[in-house]
């Protein structure tokens, strides 16, 4: 957007790229205005655009430009600050259950993670503590800086403000409109907190999170003491679009190496007092298929089922993403040795929400109580045979549910389509075995899609998690097809955990959403014309939008929760999922209806006595599990526009 000197009128240009623009002198501008910023200041290439604009689209220095910067904003700075949070630690792999301690090595500490895909910003973290003052790590003059001014790396000194763990470096930015820096726009969390416009700014830009190195034995962030001197090293991509942060103590030994050395010393000292390990539950690899009752089978392709994102098992003609993690890093970035050679898509998916999934306490309590109750019923029903139930863990992931079932006495077959998860699960089983797992019954690991295997014996119980944001959503629809197939071919009258679920919806009011958020304009410029672009037909994930809707500052529930449909996982077929249903909903009070929010609940047991749910009103003030719940599942959100 430029102010045209020739016509003294506002000219809006929207070519495919500013680099395709070239103007004659009489068409050039006195002023360039842009806000091409991302979560990081230079993420969307604003400096490159400003350089091009100054060289080809801007008039030479004039009396007008002498008093007013020719570029607005005329400068900006990237800032960093250390953060501590137990909630963040559990949701991002800084702390994992003991049997999953090997998962810590998969934590992505080489890239900045953004608020929107993560489903949260700093102000959505209930226990966030600032562990250092804000530090400016890069300043750019948009009127004169060039790409060559971006350093390859820089080192800074900062001091811990208090005793505690450091979990992440938080990255935010500010820009200014004048040389005195008197008029600023910032994304600093402390500036947006409790402001009427703060939620919108956090949802749009949010902050970047660089998680710090951890190690297997501690699997947590780093403990610092008040006043302790730390070194922050920042590496930049050539164009400044991304950066990488690492923290070390002033001993010049990086924190993760120093901590690893300390843990090795502690382990050596404790070796003499550790009691002998219990026999581990035997793990049978996929290559021993015949020995575990897996017989040759012509794959049954499920037409409606989605191939799992991380699948690298033999499953027909589909493309496997084999790009390596280090190939996605800029040349001067450090690569965590634990992640080198790993598929980038696997690392990304794991760090997106899987750590929060593993640490979801309410989810784990649900499965623990449901499996325990199943075992009690099984023992009563098979008192004469004393046979352990055969449990199929459908898509076992890291093997967490397989361990629960095995420790309670079940014989488990774990099927997983990702080879990386198979290796992780094997380590999980070994850890659980050394910690007193059920040595009498085996855990068998099979690398395959469940539709590509068949067993000599039928399974008695199926463990599965066929849901994501929606009970039958993107990942859930594929999982339901595999569940239906497994129930029909691999099991006979098997108990399914969970045994069923229901999808719900309710109406809400919040001026932060949809068209009404445009009514608070601070200028006389109307944005009503954007109304036709509002998507009021798609259901999207709140976590993909970068916020927890239970944290909407002006949230008002406009209706009671209504059930859209219910599914019995033990008998359902795809045709049981309704394609359309009309319901009458009674509004609880006068006001606007800005959105429909969806959530679900699942249950297990003869009387549905075991439950867990994703209703946001129940995750508002209920501790760490609620934060993980919103990060993993979130809720569905569909904007509402009055028809006509």
At 437-465, the pLDDT tens digits run 444 567 899 999 998 899 999 999 999 98
CB 23 within 8 A of CB 11: no
Q: What is the dihedral of CA 516, 598, 365, 465, to 10 degrees?
A: -130
Range of weakest confidence among 99-113, 175-189, 310-324: 310-324
What is the CA angle 495-499-500, rounded to 5?
A: 155
pLDDT of residue 93 exceeding 50: yes
CB contact at 8 A, 353 and 363: no
Strand positions, DSSP E, 518-561? 540-541, 556-557
| Confidence at residue 315, expressed as pLDDT on a 0 to 100 scale | 65
Q: What is the pLDDT of residues 494-530, one digit of tens each?
A: 999 999 999 999 999 988 776 565 555 555 677 777 7
pLDDT value for 97: 80
Whole-number pLDDT of residue 3 = 38
Task: Yes or no: say if 123 and 244 are a contact pair by the CB < 8 Å rule.
Answer: no
Q: What is the mean pLDDT of residues 609-615?
A: 92
Six token digits for residue 535 = 């998507």
pLDDT at 410 over 90: yes
Residue 149 CA to residue 301 CA, distance in Å, equals 55
Going by pLDDT thresholds of 50, 70 and 90, the confidence category of residue 67 is: low
Cα separation, 270 vs 273, in Å, equals: 6
pLDDT-based confidence at 307, cuts 50/70/90? confident
Average pLDDT over residues 132-161: 96
Measure Cα distances from 371 to 257, 461, 496 in Å. Answer: 40, 10, 10
Average pLDDT, the chain: 81
Long-range pairs for 355-358: beta carbons < 8 A, 24 or more residues apart: 355/90, 355/91, 355/92, 355/93, 355/96, 355/103, 355/107, 356/90, 356/91, 356/92, 356/627, 356/628, 356/631, 356/632, 357/628, 357/632, 358/96, 358/97, 358/100, 358/103, 358/398, 358/400
Quick one: which of 624, 614, 546, 612 has its CA closest to 90? 624
The 8-class DSSP code of residue 61 comes to P
The predicted structure's pLDDT at residue 281: 35
Q: What pLDDT shows up at residue 563?
A: 95
Average pLDDT for 309-318: 79
Residues 241-254: what's their mean pLDDT?
A: 79
Residue tagged 């084999």 (tokens): 322
- Say which residues have a Cβ less than 8 Å from residue 522's Cβ, sequence separation at least 6: none
β-pairing, 2-4 vs 9-11, is antiparallel
CB atoms under 10 Å from CB of 60, counted, come to 8
514 vs 493: CA distance, rounded Å: 48
- What band does 214 get if pLDDT is binned at 50, 70 and 90? low
Q: What is the pLDDT of residues 535-570, one digit of tens each?
A: 788 888 876 666 676 677 788 899 999 999 999 999
Tens digit of pLDDT for each residue in 360-384? 888 999 999 999 999 999 988 776 6
236, 104 in Cβ contact below 8 A? no
Q: How many residues does the chain have?
A: 644
Residue whose C-alpha is closest to residue 441's, from 399, 405, 416:
405
Judge whether residue 62 has pLDDT over 80. Answer: no
* Cα angle 579-581-585, degrees, rounded to a multiple of 5: 150
pLDDT at 436 over 50: no
pLDDT for 35 beyond 70? yes
The two three-digit tokens of residue 326, written as one number:
């280090």
Q: What percent of the chain has pLDDT over 70?
A: 77
Distance CA 100, CA 93 (A): 10
Angle at which helices 361-381 and 400-407 pack, to 10 degrees? 40
Q: Give the pLDDT band of residue 194 (cuts 50, 70, 90).
A: confident
Residue 227's CB is within 10 A of a number of other CB atoms, namely 10
pTM for the predicted model, two decimal places: 0.84
Q: pLDDT category, 8, cuts 50, 70, 90? A: very low
Q: How far apart are CA 554 and CA 538, in angstroms?
A: 23
As a three-state string, the secondary structure of 147-161 is HHHCCCEEEEEEECC
């Amino acid at each position: 957007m430029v102010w045209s000197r020739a016509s003294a009128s506002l000219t809006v240009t929207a070519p495919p790229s500013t680099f395709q623009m070239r103007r004659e002198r009489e068409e050039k501008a006195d002023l360039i205005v842009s806000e091409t910023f991302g979560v990081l200041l230079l993420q969307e290439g604003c400096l490159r655009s400003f350089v091009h604009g100054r060289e080809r689209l801007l008039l030479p220095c004039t009396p007008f430009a002498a008093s007013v910067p020719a570029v607005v904003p005329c400068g900006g700075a990237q800032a960093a600050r250390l953060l501590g949070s137990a909630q963040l630690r559990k949701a991002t792999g800084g702390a994992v259950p003991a049997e999953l301690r090997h998962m810590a090595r998969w934590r992505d500490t080489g890239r900045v993670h953004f608020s929107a895909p993560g489903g949260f910003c700093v102000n959505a973290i209930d226990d966030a503590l600032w562990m250092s003052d804000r530090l400016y790590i890069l300043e750019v003059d948009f009127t004169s800086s060039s790409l060559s001014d971006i350093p390859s790396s820089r080192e800074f000194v900062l001091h811990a403000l208090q005793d505690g763990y450091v979990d992440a470096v938080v990255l935010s930015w500010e820009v200014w409109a004048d040389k005195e820096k008197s008029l600023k726009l910032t994304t600093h969390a402390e500036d947006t907190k409790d402001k009427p416009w703060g939620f919108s700014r956090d949802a749009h830009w949010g902050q970047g999170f660089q998680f710090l190195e951890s190690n297997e034995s501690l699997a947590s962030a780093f403990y610092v003491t008040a006043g302790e001197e730390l070194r922050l090293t920042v590496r930049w991509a050539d164009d400044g679009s991304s950066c990488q942060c690492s923290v070390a103590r002033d001993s010049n030994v990086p924190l993760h190496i120093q901590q690893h050395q300390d843990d090795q010393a502690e382990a050596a000292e404790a070796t003499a007092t550790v009691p002998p390990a219990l026999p581990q539950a035997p793990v049978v690899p996929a290559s021993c298929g015949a020995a575990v009752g897996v017989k040759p089978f012509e794959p049954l392709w499920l037409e409606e089922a989605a191939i799992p994102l991380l699948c690298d098992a033999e499953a027909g003609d589909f493309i496997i993403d084999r790009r390596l993690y280090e190939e996605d890093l800029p040349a001067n970035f450090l690569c965590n040795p634990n992640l080198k050679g790993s598929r980038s898509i696997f690392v990304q998916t794991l760090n997106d929400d899987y750590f929060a999934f593993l640490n979801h306490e309410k989810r784990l309590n649900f499965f623990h109580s449901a499996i325990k109750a199943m075992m009690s019923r099984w023992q009563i029903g098979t008192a004469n045979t004393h046979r352990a139930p055969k449990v199929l863990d459908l898509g076992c992931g890291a093997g967490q549910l397989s361990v629960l079932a095995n420790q309670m006495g079940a014989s488990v077959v774990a099927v997983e389509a990702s080879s990386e998860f198979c290796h992780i699960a094997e380590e999980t089983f070994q850890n659980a075995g050394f910690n007193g797992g059920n040595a009498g019954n085996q855990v068998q690991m099979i690398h395959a899609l469940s539709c590509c295997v068949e067993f000599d014996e039928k399974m008695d119980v199926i463990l599965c998690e066929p849901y994501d944001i929606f009970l039958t959503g993107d990942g859930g629809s594929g999982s339901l097809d595999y569940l239906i197939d497994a129930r029909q071919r691999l099991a006979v009258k098997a108990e399914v955990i969970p045994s069923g679920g229901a999808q719900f919806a309710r109406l809400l009011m919040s001026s932060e959403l949809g068209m009404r958020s445009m009514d608070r304009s601070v200028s006389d410029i109307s944005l009503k014309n954007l109304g036709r672009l509002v998507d009021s037909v798609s259901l999207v994930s709140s976590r993909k939008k970068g916020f927890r809707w239970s944290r909407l500052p002006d949230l008002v529930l406009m209706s009671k929760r209504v059930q859209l449909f219910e599914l019995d996982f033990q008998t359902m077929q795809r045709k049981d999922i309704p394609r359309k249903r009309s319901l009458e909903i009674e509004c609880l009070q006068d006001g606007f209806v800005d959105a429909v929010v969806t959530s679900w609940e699942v249950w297990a047991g003869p009387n549905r006595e075991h439950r867990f749910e994703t209703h946001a009103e129940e995750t508002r003030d209920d501790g760490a599990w609620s934060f993980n719940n919103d990060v993993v599942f979130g809720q569905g959100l569909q904007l509402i526009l009055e028809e006509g």
